[in-house]
C-alpha cells in the first residue's frame, strides 16, 4: 500500500526525530534516501550564536542546497523509484521569516520564488509533532555541538511557526503524528504502527496519536 507514495517527506521542528525516522522508513521500503546536510552549512553554528549577523547566509545556503538536491533527483528521473526525504522545500521560508529582517526577507523571497518551481511536490508529508519541552529535552540528550546554542525561545517560536504553516498546508496529503508517546526510532512496535497508519491513508489530512 505504501508503493503509491513515490516521494515521501518527513518533517518536524528541530528535535522531532525526522532524520532518524527518514532513515528507518527508507530502509524499510528499500527506497532512496534524501537528507538535509546541515553539517555542510558553514554558517549554521555561527547562526546559533549570532542569529542577526548570520541569518541570511545560513538561510540562502540551505535554500540552494535543498533546491539542488531535489532538482538533481528530477533531472536523473529517479522519481520512478520511491524515495524518502527529511525536508520539505516549502518550509524553508518559515525559517527565513523567523530570522531575517525586512530587507533580507524581501531579497530571500525573490530568490525563493525563482528557485521553488524546480522542486516537485511530494506524494505524502508526515509531520512529527511534540511539545517544546520534549524537543528541548531530546536536543539536550543527543548533544550535538552545533545545537548547544539553540535558545529555548527560538525553539518555541519555531514550533508555533510549524503549527501555523502546516495548518494551511494542502499541496500534498498530510499525516500529522504526535510523537509524545511514540518512539518511532527505537521501538519496532511503534514504528510498525506508523507504517500501518501510512498504508491506510485515504484523506488529504489525517492524524496519528497514541495516548500513554
pLDDT for res 145? 66
Mean pLDDT by 10 residues, the chain (212 residues): 89 91 95 90 87 93 93 66 91 91 96 92 94 86 70 86 92 95 91 94 91 60
User: So what's the pLDDT on residue 61?
Assistant: 96
- Burial (CB count within 10 angstroms: exposed 0-12, middle 13-18, buried 19+), residue 83: buried
3-state secondary structure 2-40: HHHCCEEEEECCCCCCHHHHHHHHHHHHCCEEECCCHHH
What CATH number is given to the structural domain containing 95? 3.40.50.300
The confidence score (pLDDT) of residue 23 equals 96
Contact 167, 129 (CB under 8 A): no
What's phi and psi for 120, nearest 5 deg?
Answer: -80, 155
| Interatomic CA distance for residues 177 and 34, integer angstroms | 21
pLDDT at 80: 63
Report the pLDDT value the prediction gives residue 212, as an integer from 0 to 100. 55
Quote the pTM value: 0.89
Residues 6+ apart with CB under 8 A from 44: 38, 58, 146
Domain around 149: 2-208
| Contact status, residue 41 vs residue 61, Cβ threshold 8 Å | yes
Cβ neighbours for 151, distance < 8 A, ≥ 6 positions apart: none
Q: Whole-angstrom Cα distance, residue 208 to residue 183?
A: 13
Q: Position of cell 549554521? A: 44
**Which runs of consecutive H residues, i.e. helices, occur in 119-151?**
132-142
Overall number of domains in the chain:
1
Amino acid at each position: 500500500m505504501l508503493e503509491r507514495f513515490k516521494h515521501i517527506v518527513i518533517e518536524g521542528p528541530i528535535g522531532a526525530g525526522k532524520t532518524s525516522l527518514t532513515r528507518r522508513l527508507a530502509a524499510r521500503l528499500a527506497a532512496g534516501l534524501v537528507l538535509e546536510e546541515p553539517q555542510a552549512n558553514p554558517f549554521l553554528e555561527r547562526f546559533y550564536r549570532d542569529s542577526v549577523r548570520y541569518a541570511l547566509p545560513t538561510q540562502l545556503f540551505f535554500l540552494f542546497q535543498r533546491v539542488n538536491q531535489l532538482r538533481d533527483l528530477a533531472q536523473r528521473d529517479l522519481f520512478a523509484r520511491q524515495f524518502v526525504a527529511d525536508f520539505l522545500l516549502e518550509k524553508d521560508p518559515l525559517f527565513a521569516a523567523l530570522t531575517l529582517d525586512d530587507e533580507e526577507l524581501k531579497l530571500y523571497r525573490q530568490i525563493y520564488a525563482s528557485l521553488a518551481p524546480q522542486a516537485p511536490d511530494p506524494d505524502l508529508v508526515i509531520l512529527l509533532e511534540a511539545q517544546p519541552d520534549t524537543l528541548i529535552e531530546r536536543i539536550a540528550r543527543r548533544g550535538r555541538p552545533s545545537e548547544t546554542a539553540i535558545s529555548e525561545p527560538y525553539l518555541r517560536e519555531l514550533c508555533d511557526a510549524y503549527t501555523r504553516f502546516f495548518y494551511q498546508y494542502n499541496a500534498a496529503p498530510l499525516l500529522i503524528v504526535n510523537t509524545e508517546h511514540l518512539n518511532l526510532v527505537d521501538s519496532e512496535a511503534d514504528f510498525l504502527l506508523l507504517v500501518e497508519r501510512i498504508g491506510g491513508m485515504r484523506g488529504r489530512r489525517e492524524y496519528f496519536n497514541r495516548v500513554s
